[in-house]
Amino acid sequence: MSEQITCTQATLTAGNACHEIDRVLSEMLAHHRPGYLMLPADVARASATPPARRLVIEGPPADENQLAGFQEYAGMLLRGSRRVSLLADFLAQRYGLQETLRTWVEKTPIAHATMLMGKGLFDEQNPGFVGTYSGIASAPQTRETIENADTIICVGTRFTDTITAGFTQHLPPEHTIEIQPFAVRVGERWFSRIPMDQALAVLIGLSASMAAEWTLPSVSLPEVGGATGGALTQKSFWSTVQEQLRPGDIILADQGTAAFGVAALRLPSDATLLVQPLWGSIGFTLPAAYGAQTAAPDRRVVLIIGDGAAQLTIQEMGSMLRDKQRPLILLLNNEGYTVERAIHGAEQRYNDIALWDWNRLPEAFAPDVPSRCWRVTRTAELKEAMNDSVTSDRLTLVEVMLPKMDIPDFFARGDPGS
**21 φ, ψ to 5°?**
-60, -45
CB 18 within 8 A of CB 51: yes
Strand 176-180 relative to strand 183-186: parallel, antiparallel, unpaired? antiparallel
Task: Tally Cβ neighbours within 10 Å of residue 393.
Answer: 8
Cα torsion 351, 288, 263, 147: sign: negative
Per residue in 226-238, pLDDT (tens digit) is 666 789 999 999 9
* Residue 156 Rama label (left phi>0; alpha psi -120 to 50; beta): left
Q: How many Å apart are CA 205 and CA 68, to the nearest integer? A: 13
- Tell me how far CA of residue 126 lies from CA of 116, 120, 133, 263, 297, in angstroms: 18, 12, 16, 17, 27
Q: What is the mean pLDDT of residues 342-368?
A: 95
Q: How many Å apart are CA 124 and CA 120, to the nearest integer? A: 7
CB burial of 37-74 (b: ≥16 within 10 Å; e: otherwise) equals beeeeebeeeeeeeeeeeeeeeeeebeeebbebbbebb
Q: What is the mean pLDDT of residues 15-44?
A: 94
Q: At 57, is the pLDDT very low, low, confident or very high (cuts 50, 70, 90)?
A: confident
Q: What is the mean pLDDT of residues 375-401?
A: 97
Specify the pLDDT at position 418.
Answer: 40
Indicate whether 336 pLDDT > 60: yes
CB 282 within 8 A of CB 305: no
Task: Tally Cβ neighbours within 10 Å of residue 376.
Answer: 21
Closest CA to 117 of 77, 148, 162: 162
CB 50 within 8 A of CB 25: no
Indicate whether 417 pLDDT > 60: no
Specify the pLDDT at position 229.
Answer: 72
> Which domains are present in the chain?
1-58 (no CATH), 64-213 (3.40.50.1220), 234-414 (3.40.50.970)
Percentage of the chain modeled with pLDDT above 70: 98
Per residue in 273-313, pLDDT (tens digit) is 999 999 889 999 999 999 999 999 999 999 999 999 999 99
Indicate whether 194 pLDDT > 60: yes
Task: Tally Cβ neighbours within 10 Å of residue 197.
Answer: 14
Q: How many Å apart are CA 357 and CA 56, to the nearest integer? A: 53
- Tell me how far CA of residue 332 lies from CA of 126, 199, 217, 370, in angstroms: 30, 42, 37, 22
Indicate the average pLDDT of the chain.
95
Specify the pLDDT at position 222.
Answer: 84
Specify the pLDDT at position 227.
Answer: 63
Q: What is the mean pLDDT of residues 342-365?
A: 94
Read off the pTM. 0.93
Per residue in 136-183, pLDDT (tens digit) is 999 999 999 999 999 999 999 999 999 999 999 999 999 999 999 999
Per residue in 403-415, pLDDT (tens digit) is 999 999 999 998 5
* Residue 312 Rama label (left phi>0; alpha psi -120 to 50; beta): alpha
Per residue in 1-11, pLDDT (tens digit) is 899 999 999 99
**11 φ, ψ to 5°?**
-105, 120
